[in-house]
Chain A
Amino acid sequence: GDSVTQMEGPVTLSEEAFLTINCTYTATGYPSLFWYVQYPGEGLQLLLKATKADDKGSNKGFEATYRKETTSFHLEKGSVQVSDSAVYFCALTPNTGNQFYFGTGTSLTVIP
């Protein structure tokens, strides 16, 4: 069945460090791929998405590219800030149906 595997956390980085959170997926057909972020005490917020192969989603300095050949959607940011501290979830929706399949989440802490 459809599933998402993402990098185990927690991840701790210094401010301005480079961030990569790995995400790979298993799906039939052509799913849409997402990164969601959850700040403390808040809901799941859409960070970025890509709906077809080679698409790059970007938002707030974060980027992820839909790689069908490696079934991956790794999240990157060139220079993290303390305010980026949150839990990041990789997710997919299949091209049919409207439920999300999530990864386990990766907790990121950025220290000054």
Chain B
Amino acid sequence: EPEVTQTPSHQVTQMGQEVILRCVPISNHLYFYWYRQILGQKVEFLVSFYNNEISEKSEIFDDQFSVERPDGSNFTLKIRSTKLEDSAMYFCASSERRGSYGYTFGSGTRLTVV
């Protein structure tokens, strides 16, 4: 069964450093997403991406965050200058079309900012 692959599974970074989280969506999917879950809290939507541009973003997704699809397969989330409160599990997801049909999540990257 097709999977969304995220790397690394766990990343530790120092406060103030830039970090890039990587995702390989399912190959025929056109919509891409990032979510995050701070420990003990809800999984929260960050951003959706379609046709090489952001289609929706939440209040959490401020200027510190950016997303990119640098080639035909990867979808990345960059945090420019990490803060302690960025420590969370970050989930990538993709879907074939708009809506919940075929929405598939990756296994997540646990980011720890120290």
Interface residues of A in 67-112 (CB under 8 A from B): 89, 91, 93, 97-105
Q: B91 near A98 (CB under 8 angstroms)?
A: no
- Interface members, chain A 46-60 (any B CB < 8 Å): 46, 49
A46: nearest chain-B partner, CB-CB = B103
User: Helix, strand, loop or mixed for chain A's interface?
Assistant: strand
B107 touches A42 (CB 8 A): yes
Interface string of B81-104 (1 = CB under 8 A from A): 000000000010101001110010
- Count contacts on B: residues with CB < 8 A to the other chain: 28
Cβ contact within 8 Å between B35 and A98: no
Given contacts A98-B48, A98-B100, A99-B56, contact A43 B41 (CB under 8 A): no
Residues of B within 8 A of A (CB): 3-4, 6, 9, 31, 33, 35, 37, 40-45, 48, 56, 58, 91, 93, 95, 98-100, 103, 105-108
